Amino acid sequence: MKSALSAAYPAARFRRFKKMPATRALVRENTLSVDDLIWPVFLCDGENVEQPVVSMPGVVRHSVDRVVEAAKQAYDLGIPAICLFPYTDPSLKTADCAEAWNPENLSNRATRAIKKAVPDLAIMTDVALDPYNINGHDGFVVDGEILNDETVEALVKQTLSQAEAGADIIGPSDMMDGRIRAMREALENEGHTNVMIMSYAAKYASGFYGPFRDAVGAAGALKGDKSTYQMDPANSNEALRLVARDLSEGADMVMVKPGMPYLDICRLVKDQFGAPTFAYQVSGEYAMLNAAGQNGWLDLDKVMMESLLAFKRAGCDGILTYFAPKAAKVLAKL
């Protein structure tokens, strides 16, 4: 992009724009709105339960009845979508991960309940085996190896189970090769032609996921790491190749994860493809900002809004963020 020509000082005084709120607003290049937010929420079994996630201050796991209330809150705040992540009872975790496509699993029950209560709120669901896997990985593990093709077959079953429960957006977070094509073909063949896929296309093997793994109960189960299928943080060209592949296989939207440390990737993806591009402001990012805010080291509201605006400046069309309700309330006052 060519930079705009500018006269020399004093003919050009950039402080003129900054004189008052009205003129600053006139030349503002990027704007954050509630329409840009997706709220990730955690699920747990039980009734009338809200379990605090210790490593994520202000975040709780909701039982199905309580997540319906949270969904109503999101809708009333103008948040267009929520994303569901289940905390699976350890007794239901197995090597074959069969609970992942159980029509009555926690995620599917929550989807149906929310759709009944708040039909116009979009529901995004997570497609990956780690919440159901006794090994804590996103794929089947055999002799220490995460199997790709066998995992994709299981992910297709999970995808169809979630679509049949009423999910609007499928979010494959597994990073297996070929899963987008397989999911899209299955959705088309089973009549779920309007179900969208937001691919975690550029998901890095990051240290910023720790609190999330606590929230879904995968941290203790995980054996080894995920570097054989998630991206190397040193790579950027690979991200473009992965996005290109997933779009060609039928992804409607793509995601970069984590968020703030990878804003350069967000910009590269948006500039290269022009496709709907999202970022996930992950649990570690949320936890850091909250900890600094609680200690009085940062103004939490200010850095929260600044961080979210940074995603827009980097080219993102939307952001998955645990700050969504809090940010929506701040935006409502502007």
Model pLDDT for residues 14-32, shown as the tens digit of each residue:
999 999 999 999 999 999 9
Q: What is the CA radius of gyration of the chain?
A: 20
HSE-up (13 A, CA, CB side) for residue 229: 25
**226 among known catalytic residues:** no
Does position 156 have pLDDT exceeding 90, yes or no? yes
Does position 219 have pLDDT exceeding 70, yes or no? no
Does position 222 have pLDDT exceeding 80, yes or no? no
**203 among known catalytic residues:** yes
Catalytic residue among 93, 115, 257, 270: 257
- Residue 224 binned pLDDT confidence (cut-offs 50, 70, 90): confident
Domains of the chain: which residue ranges?
Answer: 32-333
- Residue 334 binned pLDDT confidence (cut-offs 50, 70, 90): confident
Give residues with Cβ within 8 angstroms of 62, minimum separation 6: 41, 42, 43, 44, 49, 50, 69, 70
CA distance 208 to 223: 17
CATH superfamily of 32-333: Aldolase class I (3.20.20.70)
Summary mean pLDDT of the chain: 95
Catalytic residue among 93, 115, 203, 312: 203
Does position 112 have pLDDT exceeding 70, yes or no? yes
Report the pLDDT averaged over residues 122-132: 96
Q: pLDDT (tens digit, 9 = 90+) per residue, 196-206?
A: 999 999 999 99
Q: Supply the pLDDT for residue 162.
A: 98
Does position 129 have pLDDT exceeding 90, yes or no? yes
Q: Are the CB atoms for 54 and 42 separated by under 8 Å?
A: no
Q: Are the CB atoms for 109 and 86 separated by under 8 Å?
A: no
